[in-house]
Amino acid sequence: MIECSVAAFDFYNMSLTNEIIKQKLVEKFGESVTSFEEPYGLLSFEAPKDMNLKVMQFLYDDEQLQFRFLTDLCAVHYPDNKGRELAVVYMLHNLNNNIRLRFKVFTDVNQPDVFTASRLFESANWMERETYDFFGVNFVGHPNLKRILNVDEMDYFPLRKEYPLEDQTRVDKDDEMFGRGGTIV
């Protein structure tokens, strides 16, 4: 099924549209919010990393916007993007109008400090721990920023691109119990 952005403009049922959200954001934050896109009807934009909380607070508090449901939070690593290696992606949902949006902040991989959203959304607590666990994004102000899925002793961030998956054809590893290497008697 292909979602069409035109279908989202139902003037009778939906008081909130991507256009209105965009207008309100530009009105409030001016040129700080950039890269507006609407892939498959989902409003997507970018904000400076020190403004992520301000943007989220505005989206949360504004009477018309009311984005109070953080459904997803994750990071993406772009090693070639100098100074903007890590992207933190937020997915917000408005339960009154059932409209959602996505916004990103970019940060330097050498100083990956981003403000935590866990004061605003309880769900951000675990999702940020997961993001820290896999990408090493340091969420400033997080109450309990420690690894969640990996072991506590781990000293690297496995979903970053510099850690490739194991070569499937390697033969130096004694892995005979898993049908690879060694000799089967």
Partner 1 sequence: MIEEVGTTTEGDLVINVGPQHPATHGVLHLVITLNGETIKKVEPHLGYIHRSIEKMCESLTYRQFIYVTSRMDYLSAHINNHACALCVEKGLQVEVPQRAQYIRVIMDELTRIASHELWWGAMAMDLGAFTPFFHAFRERETINTIMEETCGARLTMNYMVPGGVMFDLHPDFQKKVKAFIQQYTSKINEYDELVTGNIIFQNRMKGIGYVTKEDAISYGCTGPVARGSGVASDIRKIAPYDVYDKVEFDEVLETGGDSFARYLVRVKEMQQSIRIIEQLIDNIPEGDFQAKTKAVLKLPKGEFYQRVETARGELGVYIISEGGTTPYRIKFRSPGFSNLSILDHMVRGHKIGDLVAAMGTLDLVIPDIDR
Which residues are at the interface with partner 1 (CB under 8 A)?
Answer: 1-3, 39-40, 42, 44, 68-72, 74, 76-77, 89, 91, 95, 98, 102, 121-123, 125-127, 130, 134, 147-151, 158-159, 165
Of the two residues 30 and 164, which places its CB atom closer to partner 1 in the complex? Answer: 164
Of the two residues 37 and 113, which places its CB atom closer to partner 1 in the complex? Answer: 37
Q: What is the largest CA-CA distance in the chain?
A: 73
Of the two residues 2 and 6, which places its CB atom closer to partner 1 in the complex? Answer: 2
Amino acid in position 165: L
Of the two residues 83 and 163, which places its CB atom closer to partner 1 in the complex? Answer: 163
Report the SS3 class of residue 25: helix
Q: Residues near 135 by Cβ (< 8 Å), separated by ≥ 6?
A: 75, 77, 86, 112, 157, 159, 160
How wide is the angle at C-alpha 40 spanned by C-alphas 49 and 79, nearest 5°? 40
CB of 27 to partner 1, least distance (A): 26
Rounded Cα gap, residues 133 and 64, in angstroms: 35
CB of 163 to partner 1, least distance (A): 8
CB of 29 to partner 1, least distance (A): 22
Of the two residues 28 and 119, which places its CB atom closer to partner 1 in the complex? Answer: 119
Rounded Cα gap, residues 83 and 62, in angstroms: 32
First-to-last alpha carbon distance for the chain, in angstroms, is: 52
CB of 39 to partner 1, least distance (A): 6
Long-range contacts of 34-39 (CB under 8 A, 24+ apart): 38/5
